[in-house]
């Protein structure tokens, strides 16, 4: 995991929890409209992948238990984890790319409605992603994966000053590279080949030499529209288009997108496909359905988008008619750490990953609400352009005081609690009823995120080893962790 050079260990902020009356009067617990949806308060649980779907993307009992447990805490809005829009294998991540996924998703909707007595509005985050392969063994890479070209021959000739390499058979080039020192590789392989060897092969939206990448602008609007229609058919209250982090749509928005087909380069071109996807979705689901977007305040990578880009995108999205703007930060592949052989690169291991899920081992600013100043700028730009589209701020927000202060300052309209809701899904009901002191406070040290990185069922260190003798509880595959927290005993 990436760390600051001279990190400072921050303590959780001291806080005072509101009485029930104070909570009732607070901004946080006032209702707000998000498109056609009426949220009972300004509380929001952003998407979190818990690694509980089946290998082929169906909803499991463990998924139902997970979302039921969040719904019992009655946040106003709960966003279901990033769910794949295509009908392709993608491991144990939820999918919505075919009608066969509908029965499971319908059940999920029912479970949340029942558990929250209709209070929690349920949205689903829909995502497209490109291929990322595991880091290969060196020998396999040179023997099988690397496509040998005359450029390799030429570079080896230059390196060895031996003419015979220009006509060397493929097998000899492979043997040469396999037995060469690591320092030699950059002199023979191009940048992408070296990356494929050291990090695993990873597609980019700029790989337009590949027909399936070239055609993304032609196929994605329909794929997203069909997925959004299924979300509506399953009974979800709305969809969130995942235009954040390391995935396809964020890569179109990225300043790194240099496509020359009208979908890359200038900001106006980079936002074109995200808007076309939105319009296709809107056309399919109708005007009376809530469709929002999650995107980045800053990509936190060299040459990436900054908040000025995000302000521009925010205004474009609001103008196009998106119903909410949920702001995240970072989470990119470009600065991710090298994975171990056999593992895939994880886009939350570099500085941009830190900014996405900041921990208490931080710089002087600390992890608490560190993205809020950028969110405020985006909101200001959107409001100044004449739109009232609600903006959701997330990142290191765990107390009522923090949330209330953000709303009082007008920095955001809604407050997202991701890890804090995972640490204690009853946060919302506890705080509203004046039992804030009973909140199990997230320590922001990312045990949960490490599980996500290892593709293990996500739990929280504050509750996954407690009351293990409770009858009927489900355990993680390792047999040592409970999968959902115990209920709240008042
Ligand atoms: C285990 C885990 C899984 C996550 N999965 C998603 C996801 O599917 N989609 C998404 O947009 N963000 C995802 N995030 C990021 C969170 O939504 C949130 O932006 C981030 O944790 C920072 O907010 P927090 O400080 O309130 O936790 C995930 C975070 C965690 C800890
Ligand atoms: S594991 Fe740690 S960071 Fe994650 S929710 Fe629990 S306390 Fe917070």
Token pair of 264 as six digits: 């890359």
Q: Secondary structure of 149-184 in the HEC alphabet?
A: CHHHHHHHHHHHCCHHHHHCCHHHHHHHHHHCCCCC
Report the Cα–Cα distance between both ends of the chain, in Å, rounded. 38
Pocket test for ligand 2, best of 357, 445, 450, 485 (most atoms within 8 A of CB): 445
| Mean of all residue pLDDT scores within the chain | 97
* Angle at alpha carbon of residue 404, lines to 449 and 305, rounded to 5°: 50
Taking CB atoms and a 6 Å cutoff, what residues make up the pocket around ligand 2? Answer: 419, 422-423, 442-448, 460-462
Is ligand 1 within 6 A of the CB of residue 67?
no
Is ligand 1 within 6 A of the CB of residue 244?
yes
Q: What is the pLDDT of residue 90?
A: 86
pLDDT beneath 50: ranges in the chain:
none
Q: Tell which atom from ligand 2 comes closest to the C-alpha of 357.
A: 3
The H or E element that residue 32 is part of is strand 32-34
CA 62 to chain centre: 21
* Kind of pairing between the strands at 37-39 and 43-45: unpaired
Angle between helix axes 61-72 and 102-115 (nearest 10 degrees) is 30
Q: What is the pLDDT of residue 1?
A: 79
This prediction has a pTM of 0.97
Is ligand 1 within 6 A of the CB of residue 483?
no
* Angle at alpha carbon of residue 167, lines to 165 and 172, rounded to 5°: 60
| Residue minimizing CA distance to atom 4 of ligand 2 | 448
User: What pLDDT digit, counting tens, does each position of 456-485 carry?
Assistant: 999 999 999 999 999 999 999 999 999 999
User: What pLDDT digit, counting tens, does each position of 188-228 carry?
Assistant: 999 999 999 999 999 999 999 999 999 999 999 999 999 99
Q: What is the pLDDT of residue 89?
A: 87
Among the listed residues 473, 471, 489, 457, the one whose alpha carbon sits nearest the alpha carbon of residue 53: 457
Q: Tell which atom from ligand 2 comes closest to the C-alpha of 459.
A: 1
CA distance 425 to 440: 9
Q: What is the pLDDT of residue 490?
A: 80
Q: What are phi and psi of 447, to 5 degrees?
A: -60, -40
CA distance 82 to 80: 7
Instruction: Please tell me the distance between residue 236's alpha carbon and the centre of ligand 1 in angstroms.
Output: 20
Q: What is the pLDDT of residue 301?
A: 97
CB distance 41 to 18 below 8 Å: no
Among the listed residues 228, 254, 185, the one whose alpha carbon sits nearest the alpha carbon of residue 85: 228
Q: What is the pLDDT of residue 425?
A: 98
**CA distances from residue 461 to 126, 424, 457 in whole angstroms, order as listed:** 28, 11, 12
Instruction: Please tell me the distance between residue 392's alpha carbon and the centre of ligand 2 in angstroms.
Output: 21
Instruction: Please tell me the distance between residue 446's alpha carbon and the centre of ligand 1 in angstroms.
Output: 11
Q: What is the pLDDT of residue 91?
A: 85
* Angle at alpha carbon of residue 96, lines to 63 and 239, rounded to 5°: 85
Token pair of 258 as six digits: 């240099």
CB distance 8 to 20 below 8 Å: no
CB distance 376 to 329 below 8 Å: no
């Amino acid at each position: 995991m990436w760390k600051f050079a001279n990190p400072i260990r921050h303590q959780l902020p001291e806080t005072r929890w509101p009485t029930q009356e104070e909570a009732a009067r607070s901004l946080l617990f006032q209702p707000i409209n998000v498109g056609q949806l009426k949220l009972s308060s300004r509380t929001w649980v952003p998407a979190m992948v818990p690694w509980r779907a089946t290998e082929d993307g169906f909803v499991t009992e463990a998924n139902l238990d997970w979302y039921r447990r969040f719904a019992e805490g009655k946040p106003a809005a709960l966003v279901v984890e990033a769910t794949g829009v295509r009908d392709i294998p993608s491991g144990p991540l939820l999918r919505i790319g075919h009608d066969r996924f509908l029965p499971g998703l319908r059940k999920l909707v029912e479970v949340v409605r029942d558990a929250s007595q209709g209070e929690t509005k349920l949205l689903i985050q829909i995502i497209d992603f490109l291929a990322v392969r595991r880091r290969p063994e060196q020998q396999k890479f040179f023997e099988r994966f690397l496509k040998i070209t005359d450029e390799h021959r030429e570079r080896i000739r230059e390196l060895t000053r031996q003419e015979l390499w220009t006509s060397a058979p493929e097998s000899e080039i492979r043997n040469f590279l396999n037995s060469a020192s690591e320092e030699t590789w950059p002199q023979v392989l191009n940048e992408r080949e070296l990356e494929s060897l050291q990090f695993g092969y990873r597609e980019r939206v700029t790989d337009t030499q590949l027909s399936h990448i070239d055609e993304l602008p032609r196929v994605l609007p329909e794929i997203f529209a069909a997925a959004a229609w299924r979300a509506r058919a399953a009974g979800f209250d709305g969809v969130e288009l995942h235009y954040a982090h390391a995935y396809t749509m964020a890569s179109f928005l990225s300043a790194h997108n240099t496509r020359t087909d009208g979908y890359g380069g200038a900001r106006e071109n980079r936002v074109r496909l995200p808007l076309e996807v939105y319009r296709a979705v809107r056309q399919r689901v109708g005007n009376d359905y809530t469709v929002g977007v999650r995107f980045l305040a800053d990509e936190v990578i060299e040459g990436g988008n900054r908040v000025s880009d995000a302000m521009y995108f925010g205004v474009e999205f609001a103008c196009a008619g998106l119903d909410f703007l949920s702001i995240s930060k970072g989470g990119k592949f470009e600065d991710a750490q090298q994975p171990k052989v056999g593992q895939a690169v994880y886009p939350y291991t570099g500085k941009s990953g830190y900014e996405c899920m900041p921990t208490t081992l931080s710089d002087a600013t600390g992890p608490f609400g560190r993205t809020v100043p950028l969110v405020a700028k985006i909101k200001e730009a959107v409001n100044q352009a004449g739109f009232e589209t609600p903006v959701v701020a997330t990142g290191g927000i765990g107390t009522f005081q923090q949330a209330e202060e953000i709303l009082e300052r007008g920095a955001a309209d809604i407050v997202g609690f991701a890890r804090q809701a995972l640490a204690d899904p009853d946060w919302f009901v506890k705080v509203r009823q004046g039992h804030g002191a009973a909140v199990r406070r997230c320590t922001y040290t990312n045990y949960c995120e490490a599980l996500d990185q290892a593709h293990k069922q996500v739990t929280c260190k504050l509750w996954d080893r407690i009351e293990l003798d409770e009858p009927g509880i489900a355990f993680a595959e390792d047999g040592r962790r409970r999968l959902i927290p115990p209920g709240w005993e008042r």
